[in-house]
Structure 1
Amino acid sequence: MSILRLAHRWAGGLIGLFLAILGLSGAMLVHKDDWLRLTTPHAAEAQMQDTATLAAAVQRIFEDPDPPRSIVLASERLGLHRLSYIDKERGAYADQTGEIVAQWSSKWERPEIWLFDLHHYLLVGDTGKFVAGALGLAGLAFVITGVILWWPTRRLFTFSLWPAKMSRAAVVRQHRDLGVLVAPLLFISLLTGVAMTLPKVEEVMLAPFSSPTEMKASEGAPKAKGGPLAPDTDWLELLNATRAQYPGAEIRTIGLPTKPGALISVRLRQQAEWLPNGRTMFWFDPATAQQVATRNAQTLPTGLRIANLEYPIHAAKVGGLPYRLVMTVSGLALALLGSLAVYTFWANPKFQKRKRPSTPHARA
């Protein structure tokens, strides 16, 4: 047990600050849509999903001399379309008529964009994504070992949001008791985060449900080749074709081909899907706007359907405000536990030297 305690303490002191950053940024991102609704024009408007309105906006956006590569359409919580460009640093928000209301050429121009990049990539791209996943694995180890270390002291449990004083003993006691209290939330947050950032770990987790080969074969784009993008694509007809097959589904994203032979892609979210943008797919030939292939998310292998639950659970995209608050608590708790772990490890407590009692001199 002493070795486990020593390993827990040293690891926490070395990477606790990084876990704190992931926790705090995650807690803030849960409320990204609320921030945009308060600060961005038209963001609080009600979502419009009739195909005529969508087609008119899509046509206006894609007719721009510098069109985006894809559009994420307005949702129930955010009344703006988000535009993404070939240059991944660039982006824009458009209202539901297709008019640009905000745009940026660098992630540093939008707080929600760089915060997302910090949380998912640690601001250093794919390498940061891998590191964030590794930190998540370490966080899972902290949760498990923390519960093991707490168990012998369970009768001393007391609830406290903040240490009674900033002595090492008081901080460790508060860290131990708060950690075990939020352990289930942290386990869910960290496990789903690891699954999204470390594909090999995710494969192992999903292997009991579906083989990696089966999942890979089911999620790839069709092999069919399309022609060059026609300048007069009938977006209304195209969107009506998707709506006709899934009348109750929400049309979520539209993507243009980014290389020769690629297809137009459209994603829908059926009511049973938790993933905000869904995984029900349509592909169309860019030259003729004729449907080439479709995929029903409800018929995907079990492993992929489980994988599609990771992001909505991790980012609190289901469950409404109550679950968003739960995941906010999880993120803030991770930030507090990580930062205090670093504090107790690196701080230099001042130990007062005890004065030795003077020995009385013998009388002559």
Structure 2
Amino acid sequence: MPSPRAILFRLHWALGLTAGLILAVVGATGALLSYEEALTDWANPDRLTVATREAPPLALSDLTQRIEAQRPGQRVARLTLQDDPAASVTIRFARDPATRQRPDSVFADPYDGAVLGPVRGEALFDTVLALHRFLLLPGDGNGWGRQITGACAIALLVFLVTGIVLRWPQVHRLRIWLRPSLSRPGRARWWSLHAVAGTWLLPVYLIIALSGLTWSYGWFKDGANALLVGGAKPAAMGKRAKAGPEGPPALDAVWTAFHDGEGRNAARAQILLPEEGRQPIRIRWFSRDDDRPAARNEARYEAATGTLMSAERAADQPLGKRIAGNMLEVHRGRFFGAGFALLFCLAALAMPGFAATGIALYLLRRRAAGRRTARKPLVPAPAE
């Protein structure tokens, strides 16, 4: 009967040879997604800015109409605006009702509505995201890919627990826990690097695994929200309001009310338009004083009249609610600041390294076991 330590060891390497390889792919893609916005800006320098005019920018209703006229059959779903007269507007379109595919986002000139071109790199990052979340398997969120990546997030938690138990030393010293012994030969060197790096990055991987599970399992997300928000239900989205007599939502009235009220100090705003005029118009915005991803504010306006329905400021919310409402930024590390975002990116990049060192340790162990078997003397059969 193997000992409990032997069972944990076999579980650790068995998961490493299976889930560890998938986590290597998830880690590499996650590191790339960590800086999606910065890389997208780098790829689109000529479309991020426009020539300023003496005339004011177009009203948002006119802007959306001109953009949709240049893109027949496509409906504007989101506008991202900057508090900069030389900044272009980023336009995201609604999904096609028949195919459920989303057209390419574009940059547009806020002064005349001219489409400046598609967002370079968006298709690449969409593919990277699908690989990260669903391994490019059919069905996306409803397919096997989501279940596999969710199971691998659980495997990551098992790695953390079994890894600490297996390396628990008889003598506790910081040098043993936190300093790799790279001068040791062969398998001992790889083990030290694998174990010490895992110890350093354990808190980061714990946050990554727990936050990642909220996209894989609804029951886990509900439990996390209940724990973080204290069992309170999410903020109501407001009463569903039908559009006014002419049909379109009161976009200009909403933007005026936002500028005169909640958004007086906004540096960047995302306007999420309603579907078929039956949902509130939502504006997510960041202030000039604090534009961190964790400091996202949100206001909701009645689509038909432009009346403010509700407003939530990040500074007024308890920590648990801000974490629950910004789980993606927690997962990426940006919730904790730019330094932590870089740390999370490096930790994600290290996942292929853990897979490589784990496989090297497994192969070296198998080779050593083979040599011991070859050197073992044969026991002669007893004489009859």
TM interval, short-chain normalised: 0.7 to 0.9
Matches of 2:94 and 2:190, distance apart in 1:
48
- Secondary structure (helix, strand or coil) at the match of 1:295 reads strand
Matches of 2:310 and 2:58, distance apart in 1:
20
Correspondence for 2:200 among 175, 181, 185: 181
Matches of 1:179 and 1:16, distance apart in 2:
13
Correspondence for 1:241 among 222, 233, 257: 257
Structure 2 CA distance for partners of 1:149 and 1:5, relative to 1, 3 Å: same
Q: What whole-Å deviation, never above 9, does each CA across 1:249-283 have from its counterpart, x for those lacking one?
A: 34532233324634433333456685479351223
Structure 2 CA distance for partners of 1:312 and 1:74, relative to 1, 3 Å: farther
Matches of 2:116 and 2:280, distance apart in 1:
28
User: 5+ unaligned residues in a row in structure 1: which ranges?
Assistant: 358-364
Structure 2 CA distance for partners of 1:84 and 1:345, relative to 1, 3 Å: farther
CA contact (8 A) 2:134 2:149 kept: yes
Corresponding position: 1:23 with 2:32: no
Alignment match, 1:84 = 93
- Secondary structure (helix, strand or coil) at the match of 2:285 reads strand
Alignment match, 1:284 = 302
CA contact (8 A) 1:10 1:345 kept: no
Matches of 2:290 and 2:132, distance apart in 1:
28
Structure 2 CA distance for partners of 1:240 and 1:193, relative to 1, 3 Å: same
Corresponding position: 1:149 with 2:166: yes
Matches of 2:199 and 2:272, distance apart in 1:
45
| Greater relative CO, 1 or 2 (CA 8 Å, sep 6+) | 1
Matches of 2:127 and 2:14, distance apart in 1:
30
Question: How far apart are 1:183 and its partner, in Å?
Answer: 1.3
Corresponding position: 1:120 with 2:128: no
Q: Which amino acid aligns with 2:129?
A: F
Q: What whole-Å deviation, never above 9, does each CA across 1:34-59 have from its counterpart, x for those lacking one?
A: 3222222435549x9xxx64845545
Question: How far apart are 1:19 and its partner, in Å?
Answer: 0.8
Structure 2 CA distance for partners of 1:8 and 1:200, relative to 1, 3 Å: same
Alignment match, 2:75 = 68
CA contact (8 A) 1:41 1:101 kept: no
Question: How far apart are 1:16 and its partner, in Å?
Answer: 0.2
Once the two structures are superposed, the pairs formed by residues 325-344 of structure 1 within 5 Å of their partners are 325-344=342-361
Q: Which amino acid aligns with 1:225?
A: A
- Secondary structure (helix, strand or coil) at the match of 1:281 reads strand
CA contact (8 A) 1:224 1:292 kept: no
* Structure 1 outlier segments of 4+, above 6 Å: 161-165, 231-234
Structure 2 CA distance for partners of 1:196 and 1:238, relative to 1, 3 Å: same
Percent same amino acid among aligned pairs? 19
Correspondence for 1:191 among 193, 197, 210: 210
Please say which of residues 169-178 and 259-268 is displaced more in the overlay.
259-268
Alignment match, 2:309 = 293
Corresponding position: 1:10 with 2:14: yes
Please provide the CA RMSD for this pair. Answer: 3.9
Corresponding position: 1:204 with 2:223: yes
- Secondary structure (helix, strand or coil) at the match of 1:152 reads coil
Once the two structures are superposed, the pairs formed by residues 122-137 of structure 1 within 5 Å of their partners are 122-124=135-137, 125-126=140-141, 127=143, 128-137=145-154
What TM-score results when the alignment is normalised by the length of structure 2? 0.73
Structure 2 CA distance for partners of 1:208 and 1:235, relative to 1, 3 Å: closer
CA contact (8 A) 2:80 2:270 kept: yes
User: 5+ unaligned residues in a row in structure 2: which ranges?
Assistant: 378-384
Question: How far apart are 1:79 and its partner, in Å?
Answer: 6.3
Q: What whole-Å deviation, never above 9, does each CA across 1:9-30 have from its counterpart, x for those lacking one?
A: 2112221011111111111112
Q: What whole-Å deviation, never above 9, does each CA across 1:66-95 have from its counterpart, x for those lacking one?
A: 33342251569x966141322334222214
Please say which of residues 151-160 and 4-13 is displaced more in the overlay.
151-160
Question: How far apart are 1:313 and its partner, in Å?
Answer: 2.7
Structure 2 CA distance for partners of 1:4 and 1:70, relative to 1, 3 Å: same
Alignment match, 2:380 = none
Matches of 2:362 and 2:104, distance apart in 1:
42
Matches of 1:109 and 1:311, distance apart in 2:
18
Q: What whole-Å deviation, never above 9, does each CA across 1:193-248 have from its counterpart, x for those lacking one?
A: 22344342233234344354x323x2x42223212694776644421211222112
